Each structure stands twice: as C-alpha cells, then as structure tokens.
Chain A
Amino acid sequence: MSGDTEEGDRRTVRAALDRAHRREWGAVLAATVRIAGDLDLAEECVQEAYASALTSWTRRGVPHSPGAWLTTTARRKALDAHRRTATLQNKLPLLVESAEETAVNPGDSDAPAVLDDLLRLVFICCHPALGEEASVALTLRLVCGLTTAEIACAFLVPEPTVAARITRAKKKIATARIAYRIPATAELPDRLDAVLTVVHLVFTSGHAAPGTELLRGDLVERALGLGQSLRTLMPDEPEVAGLLGLMLLTDSRRKARCAVSGRAVLLEDQDRSLWDAEAIAHGLRLVEAALRTRRLGRFAAQAAIAACHARAASFAETDWEAVIGWYTVLDRVWPSPVVSLNRAVAVGMRDGPDVALAQVSALEADGRLVGYRYLPATKADLFRRLGRIDEAMAAYRQALALTDNQTEREFLLGRLDLLSQVDLLARMDQGVRLDRGVDPEIGS
C-alpha cells in the first residue's frame, strides 16, 4: 500500500468520523446511558468509542453503519467498566427504568428503541427542574456532542461557568432523581414545551447575532438539527412542526439579513431574491402540517406569521390582515405584552402609524414593558413616520440607553443620525416625507 492511499484512507476515516460525530453523537450516548446508568460514565465510554473508531476504521475500513458500530463499542465499554470496578456504588446512579431491558445485545440497532432512547436523553436534558441555561448547555453537550469550550465560545460565557452549569445539572439529575423516561401523555405538553423552548433558545442565540462569528452560525445548524430530530421522533406533535417551520422560515432569510458591512438589514429592506427558496418551501409545508391539526400552540402561530412574510413577494405585498390575525391567535395561546407590541406594529402597517401609536402608548401605560428596549424603538419609528421628529429622537435615545447589543446600537445611532439630518432639511423645506416603516420582525 502506497503512502498516498494511506493518507487518502485516513482522510476518508476522518470525514466519516466527523459525520458520525455530528449526526450520531446523541443517539450513541442515549443508547449507552441505558447500560452505564450514569451520564458521566456514558460520556466517557462514547468518547472512547469515537477514539477507538479512528484506529479500527483506519485498519479495517469504515463500517457499513458507523452509528451502530459506535453504539455497540460504547455499550461494551460501559459493561466492561461495570465489570472492572465497583464504582457504580460510589457514583450517583441515574434513574433508568426497567433494568431488564438493559441486557446488552451487540449489534442491536433496533431502530424504535434507539429513537426512544434519544428522546429520553432530550427530555432529561430539558427537564424544567434544571433551568434553561443548564438545559441549553446540557443539550448541546450530550445530544449534539459539543465540547464545553465550544459551548462557552458560542454563548460568550467563560468556560468554567459552562463546566459548572453542566456538572451541577448532572448532579441534580442524579440527586433529585430525574428519570430517564419519555413523559406520560398527561405531562407531555408541559415537558415538550420545555424542550422546544431550549431548542428555540439555541436557535435565537445563533440567529440574533448577525454577522461573522462562525460558531454562532453553528448554533443555528445545531438547533435546526435538533428540530429535525424531534420532528422524526414526534411526527404527530404540531408544536414540533411549528418550531421547525419557524426556524427554517426565519433562517431562510439569513443571507439577506446581513449587509456586506456586517450590519443587520431590516425585513423591509431585504433583497428577497437572496432568501433560501428551498428552506421556505420546507418551512411552509411544516406550517401547513401544524395548522391542519387544529391544535394551535405558540410555535405554530409564530411560524404562521413567519409564513405570511415568506409568501409575500415584496414588503409592500405583505398580507397584514393575516399577520394581525395570527398575532391575535398568538396572544390568545401565549399572552404576552411583547406579542401585543408586535401586533401593534402590524396594525400600524395596515391602518397607519397613528393607530399603532395609540396602541403602543396604551401598552406603555400598563407598565409591563418598562425597560423593554423595543418599546421606545417602536415608538420612535412610529413618531418618525408621523414626522414628529423631536419625539422620535427622544424615543430613539431612550431605546439606545436600554441597549447593549452592538449591532442594535449601531442601527439606532444610524437612525438618530439620519433624523438629525432630516430635521435640518425639514427646517429648510417642510416637504420632506418620513414614511419608512418599522421592522415587523423587531423584538420577535
């Protein structure tokens, strides 16, 4: 065998291993947890399995089903670990139900069982008793196979903070006896909502920061991957379809959201030819599937709003009537003053900024949105469109004082700058019009 082919083989193995890491980590770990009875031990065994795959696959070639090979290897390692030591008694055991099922069967790749284990892993990572930050970190680590360093980097948090969150979460799972189980039908809606919230949080963390950071884009990919897995695992849950649809439709605008300068581009100003038509088509199919069930939840309603934007050939052709209708639905299934604020913006697009301003002022008066930066930002935009420049500038400054996100600060400063120029012009010529719209996406 020449050196060249050896090098080529090594590259093939590396690529297969990377693919297996991306796609199968969670499933391999989920199946190993059952034998290990402990999350830490399971993680160690899966890491070792991936390490031994490198040597074994280089020598004997990439197996037909890499995932099954890795699962079998990791489970054997867990069994060996149990045989070798009595550590199980010292470790905090994980609550794995029905011990008789855990008899290891090498080469066992019973598909439904594997899927069920993956679902158990997702539900244990996203148990509401863990708190959202811990759930996000634990899901990325255990289900997606990200390292602590990668998670820390993606969320701009110090690595020891992430490590501590994960350690504490694992300890709580064992100490508080959180079961490795798919929730019963009665508890499913609440538990599923917690899972979807975590996946959505991973998505928005990646999506909210437009621009250059690759790892942030990776978060979007991970969230989409999780959404797709959940869709496969729970094909009948409308909220799962709704969340995946919402993420696909939002992400379809990725290329159009960011100007060459790195600045965010408002929905209104986006070049719609840059939208990803394939993602939109997929997203729209999911929204329709979710709506057909007539069991509407918050993610399906949000996806329906995103679908209205995706269907419009231009900003001017947006069906604001439908957008407002879906915001009304959203406000009913998931009441929130933020939803009311977004609805007011859509009303402004249909009925004019003065109508919207009245609604926004009413919202401001009820006090629940104090300190919420999109409220003054929305008001500022409405004032601007009404030509009330002094009030607009005051509101922009108010929003600026509440914002520490750099991209948003630049946007607000840009608007202020523009207004002060317009103000000057307007003093010279009363005919200047200020009729540019508010970003209906803002704050969503």
Chain B
Amino acid sequence: MLLVYDDGTPVDFEAGQHHSRSWDQTPSLAQAHRRLAENAVKLGGGLVTAEALEAPEMATTLRTDVVTDGPAVDTVDNVVALYVVDAPDLDRALDLARWCPLSGAGSVEVRPVRSTRT
C-alpha cells in the first residue's frame, strides 16, 4: 500500500509539479500517475487500487460514537491519495513510490498489506 501524504496545497492535477528524482523533467501529476500504473504492470503485478481523496477538511471522524468534523489526526500532512500495488519486494515497491504524484514537499509511506494467509 502506498499512502501519499501532502500538506494540502491545492494543485492542478494536469499542471502540478513532481519532485521525485526519477524524473528528468517536471511532468504533470497526471503523467506521474500514468507512469506509476505502467511500471506497476511491468513488475507483473499492476495497480490494484488507486484513489485520490478530497481535502482533509471534508473528512468526518467517528471516535467512541461521537461524530466530529475534520480528519482523525490533525497534522500538517494528510493522506491525499492511496495506491494498492502488487510488488514483489520492498525495493520494487519503493521504485513505484518514487512515481507517486506529489505536489511538493509531500511524502509516500510504503506499508505492507497484511497477509490473510495463515
């Protein structure tokens, strides 16, 4: 699972900047997203899920049955998108993470999906 965190600066998906050094030029976020998908397929796994989320202010949190406005954790960086990819190992997953569309100073958390195998 690739969790994309960003500071919530509004970005234009078609014109946004991408800061990963995987890039030799600065493509749009949409291009980054497409490259990620292509590379995931090349690894033999592919993209299982890819979703961009609405702004954290749009979130609603349920905690011990109390409903509140806003995200569960109030931090500068919030989850703005998530990808579920099928990668053979951590290094390959990190290769994909380098293509995650980011607006600026954001980060990508790579977290294994818990195996259901017993």
Pair from one complex: yes
Q: What 8 pairs across the A-B complex have the smallest Cβ distances?
A: A179-B89, A177-B89, A178-B90, A176-B90, A177-B90, A95-B89, A176-B112, A175-B112
**B88 on the interface (CB 8 Å rule)?**
yes
B112 lies within 8 A of A179 (CB): no
B93-117 residues at the A interface, CB under 8 angstroms = 93, 110, 112
Please indicate the chain B residues that have their CB under 8 angstroms from the CB of A95 in the complex: 88-89
What is the CB-to-nearest-CB distance from A428 to chain B, in angstroms, rounded to a whole number?
60
Q: Does B14 contact A (CB under 8 A)?
A: no
- B24 near A: Cβ within 8 Å? no
Complex: A373 Cα to B104 Cα, angstroms: 34
Chain A residue at smallest Cβ distance from B87: A177
B78-94 residues with Cβ-Cβ distance < 8 A to A are 87-91, 93
Q: Which residue of B lies closest to A180 (CB)?
A: B89
Interface string of A149-188 (1 = CB under 8 A from B): 0000000000000000000000000011111010100010
Residue of B nearest to A127 (CB): B90
CB-CB under 8 A from B89, the residues of chain A are 95, 177-179, 181
A149 to B89, CA, bound (A): 32
Interchain CB contact under 8 A, A187 and B90: no
Contact between chains at A187 and B112 (CB < 8 Å): no
User: 4 more A-B contacts (CB under 8 A) besides A175-B112, A177-B89, A179-B91?
Assistant: A176-B112, A177-B93, A179-B88, A181-B89
Q: Which residues of B contact A (CB under 8 A)?
A: 87-91, 93, 110, 112
Q: How far, in Å, is B36 (CB) from chain A's closest CB?
A: 17
Interface residues of A in 56-92 (CB under 8 A from B): none
A94-109 interface (Cβ within 8 A of B) = 95
- A:296-342 near B, CB below 8 Å: none
21 A–B pairs (Cβ distance < 8 Å), ordered by A: A95-B88, A95-B89, A127-B90, A129-B90, A175-B112, A176-B90, A176-B110, A176-B112, A177-B87, A177-B88, A177-B90, A177-B93, A177-B112, A178-B89, A178-B90, A178-B91, A179-B88, A179-B91, A181-B91, A183-B91, A187-B91
Chain B residues in 8 Å Cβ range of A127: 90
Q: For residue A237, give the distance in angstroms from its CB to the closest CB of chain B.
A: 19
User: From A174, which residue of chain B is reached at the shortest CB distance?
Assistant: B112
Please give, as numbers and ranges, the residues of chain B lying within 8 Å of A178 by CB-CB distance. 89-91
CB distance from A62 to the nearest CB of B (A): 40
For B91, give the chain A residue with the smallest CB separation: A179
Least CB distance from A185 to B in Å reads 13
Give the complex CA separation of A293 and B58 in angstroms: 56
A155 and B13 alpha carbons, distance in the complex (Å): 49
Shortest distance from the beta carbon of A194 to any chain B beta carbon, whole Å: 12
- Residues in chain B near residue A187, CB distance under 8 A: 91
Docked complex Cα distance between A95 and B90 (Å)? 10
Contacts of A176 in B (CB 8 A): 90, 110, 112
User: CA of A176 to CA of B89 in the docked complex: distance in angstroms?
Assistant: 7
B33 → A minimal CB distance (Å): 22
Which B residue sits closest to A179, measured CB to CB? B89
Q: Which of B87, B88, B91 has the most CB of A within 10 A?
A: B91
Contacts of B93 in A (CB 8 A): 177
CA distance A183 to B91 in the complex (A): 9
- Which residues in window 168-216 of A have CB below 8 A to B? 175-179, 181, 183, 187
Q: What is the minimal beta-carbon distance from B49 to any residue of chain A, in angstroms?
A: 19
Complex Cα gap A307–B90 (Å): 39
A contact residues around B87 at 8 Å (CB): 177
Question: How many Å lie between the Cα of A176 and that of B91 in the bound state?
Answer: 10
Min CB distance B23 to A, Å, is 14
By beta carbon, the residue of chain A nearest B110 is A176
Contacts of A181 in B (CB 8 A): 89, 91
Contacts of B91 in A (CB 8 A): 178-179, 181, 183, 187
Contacts of A183 in B (CB 8 A): 91
A99 vs chain B, min Cβ distance (A): 13
Query: Nearest chain A CB to B42's CB is how many angstroms away?
Result: 14
- The interface bits of chain A over 127-156 (1 if a CB of B lies within 8 angstroms of the residue's CB, else 0) are 101000000000000000000000000000
Task: Encode contact with B along A231-258: 1 for CB under 8 Å, 0 otherwise.
Answer: 0000000000000000000000000000
- Which residues does chain B contribute within 8 Å of A177, judged by CB atoms? 87-90, 93, 112
